[in-house]
Amino acid sequence: MTDWSAQTQLARDWFETLRDQICAAFEAIEREAGSDASFEYISWNRETDDGAEGGGGVRGVMKGKVFEKVGVNVSTVSGDFAPGFAQTINGASEDSPGFTATGISLVAHMANPHVPAVHMNTRFLTTSKAWFGGGADLNPPIPYEEDTEQFHAAFRAACMGHNPTYYEKFRKWADDYFFIPHRGVARGVGGIFYDHLECADLAQFERNFAFTRDVGSAFLDVFPKIVRRRMGQEFTPEEKAAQKEWRGRYVEFNLVYDRGTLFGLKTGGNIDAILMSLPPEVTWS
């Protein structure tokens, strides 16, 4: 079995670098809005069931004038999957339940309902197999075609730089995944989603890692542009109320269907980091 520890470290270093770049970009937007809000970082450690060291991570949260609540998590954890859950994970089994996982996860809920909420994550996991996964999706309470097109164009370009089939495949995967069956509605206007981008050897790791870096860079480039376009728009109390009700759909998806939430809860992750995706204020009609 291939030892992926060096590659896990490379991926971890990139995810932490991306975190620093994103947080700096978001704090710069707060400064432009006349706010001194900054990220607060809290580190956490994970213990395995037998009390051994299981890695950990850093949860960064900022509550500001533009970003009502944004969380950026990075973590690197390892251990064994619980019996039963191992069978649901690529390359894991009851006989081989061990894993390592490193990644970045981001969710931003915006103060102005004209500014879309957004989710982004990329990750590298190893069991008896090794693979990358991730993506990003835009979640506007008040959709604007210009924003949707710009967001998709950024990820289309990132995909086309690696494989001409990626964008349509991963766009459809996002549309199918970020759907709320019990409501019969999409969570937002989509983006891309990919998983199990497997690394059978080091050459595949390098190709898939390069693609995953471009996904992160595409997000860093496009989302601040959309925020700056909308953050100064006037909004009504009715639009704010509609935003809070729309957030309820986001909560329902994350607590009922989201794989990342389930993975974190099933592997002993930090509860506050796992649930940082939940908005600060939400209503249901």
Residue type, 190: G
Q: Is residue 282 in a domain?
A: no
Query: Which CATH number goes with the domain that contains 172?
Result: 3.40.1500.10
Selection from 17, 174, 15, 217 nearest residue 101 by Cα = 15
Q: Is residue 221 in a domain?
A: yes
Residues 6+ apart with CB under 8 A from 230: 112, 114, 115, 116, 144, 147
**33: containing domain:** 5-277
pLDDT, one tens digit for every residue, the chain (285 residues): 578 999 999 999 999 999 999 999 999 999 999 999 999 999 998 766 666 678 899 999 999 999 999 999 999 998 776 666 655 565 555 455 578 899 999 999 999 999 999 999 999 999 889 999 999 999 999 999 999 999 999 999 999 999 999 999 999 999 999 999 999 999 999 999 999 999 999 999 999 999 999 999 999 999 999 999 999 999 999 999 999 999 999 999 999 998 778 777 776 667 887 788 899 999 997
Number of domains in the chain: 1
Q: Is residue 50 in a domain?
A: yes
What sign has the CA pseudo-torsion 274, 118, 251, 126? negative
User: Any catalytic annotation for residue 119?
Assistant: yes
Alpha helix ranges (H) inside the chain: 5-32, 145-160, 166-177, 202-230, 237-256, 259-266, 271-274
For residues 187 and 253, the answer to whether their CB atoms sit within 8 Å is yes
For residues 39 and 60, the answer to whether their CB atoms sit within 8 Å is yes
Q: Is residue 285 in a domain?
A: no
For residues 78 and 54, the answer to whether their CB atoms sit within 8 Å is yes
pTM to 2 decimals? 0.91
Find the catalytic residue in 109, 114, 119, 152. Answer: 119
